[in-house]
Amino acid sequence: MSDIHLACVVGARPNYMKMAPLLRALEAYPHVRPVLIHTGQHYDPSLSDVFFNELGMRRPDISLEVGSGKHGAQTARVLERFEEVLERGTPEGHRYDRVVVVGDVNSTMAAALAAVKLGVAVAHVEAGLRSFDRTMPEEINRLVTDAVSDLLLVSEPAGLENLRREGHAESQLHLTGNVMIDTLKRMLPKARDRDGLVRYGLEAGRYGVVTLHRPANVDSPETLSALLDVLVAASREIPMVFPIHPRTQARVERFGLAERLGRASGIVQLPPLGYLDFLALTSQARVIITDSGGLQEESTVLGIPCLTARPNTERPITVDEGTSTLVSNDPRKLSESLQTVLDGRYKQGRCPALWDGRAGERIAKILAGKA
Ligand code: UD1
């Protein structure tokens, strides 16, 4: 069998835990030759390097260093620089046979678009997810990426339905399960070994974990301030651990909310954490409050109640089968659901099919032409 040259693209924090298991699984197929390309959308060590180290992922072969910027500018830089990468060919001088993109960040969409314009086939891992909310940048990224991909690797059944409705051929679709859960299952024993809780004075099952970074929640002073008020109130009952994304940190400071947050002794403010420290916290929490896509899935697998601060989700299985409830950015809904959890009346979830730690293997088999 002749070699298959893949350009595997990552750009931002949620991409690494999806690409790592795939690269690992591809090692079973020596004729598949992946080149790892980092766009540099995330560049802070806390959002990037730490994940490569902990996940045991090889260093990128090529870095595009696009950095932050407005959507148009950031996307354009990836398009321009990744197009050059594809035109140059692999470091060994081969033509790329396929580009592999994961998730829904700007880098995902831009890399897919650059590839298809050059006639390079695109595989999208985590295809078909739809929030049906076009105000979310990620929804646009998902729509565009899927439209130009010829191989669509899907994590939950709703994704298949969405792609069929959009007219994709059955031969393009594969329900492979959730590759991010491969990483979670592999890393969980190590994460639980860490003395993460002791360091912050926490007891297992007796604290909450909060992450907020979506523009809809953190870009307006009224919304952010109302959400923080609920968290501060809740932190009088149980400590709330809040690793703060740089975007959110900037807003907290700009809106003059830093003092209010700082005064609440039950709020444990932290910088963005590495994968293991974060998993140590989430896996032993009483409740998770988040607007992250990935965390809705992780909490479902961990069996931890997840109050999702979004009006919709592209991951409906986390609500229908899992432990997530949509509370929007409505302070009343958030505090009511939180009370349900603290009173022990919250629903139980179950782990969705194929979220079994082997999605990377299934995807690798398809990419290797052995499925
Ligand atoms: C991006 C993704 C989002 C994902 C999130 C995870 C898009 C549209 N959004 O959002 O889907 O959930 O990553 O974190 O792709 N910044 C730093 N250091 C960095 C990178 C960014 O300080 O290494 C700050 C900059 O001020 C930057 C801001 O964060 O302007 C936003 O970064 P950006 O990559 O545009 O989007 P995220 O909000 O991180």
Q: What are the average pLDDT values for consecutive 10-residue runs of the chain, which has 371 residues?
A: 95 97 98 98 94 95 98 98 98 98 98 98 98 97 98 98 98 98 97 86 96 96 96 96 96 97 96 95 97 97 98 98 97 96 97 98 97 90
Active-site pick, 5, 38, 213, 245: 213
Sheet of 324-326: strand order equals 267-270, 240-243, 208-211, 287-290, 306-308, 324-326
Which of the listed residues 77, 214, 247, 248 should we mutate to test ligand 1's pocket, taking the one with most ligand atoms within 8 A of CB? 247
Atom of ligand 1 nearest to the CA of 107: 15
d(CA 9, CA 13): 12
Cβ(221) to ligand 1 under 6 A?
A: no
CA of 42 to the centre of ligand 1 (A): 6
d(CA 239, CA 231): 9
CA of 247 to the centre of ligand 1 (A): 7
CB 85 within 8 A of CB 37: yes
d(CA 108, CA 122): 11
pLDDT at 1: 73
Q: pLDDT tens across 142-159, in order?
A: 999 999 999 999 999 999
User: For this structure, is 213 an active site residue?
Assistant: yes
CA of 214 to the centre of ligand 1 (A): 9
Give me 190's structure tokens: 């190590």
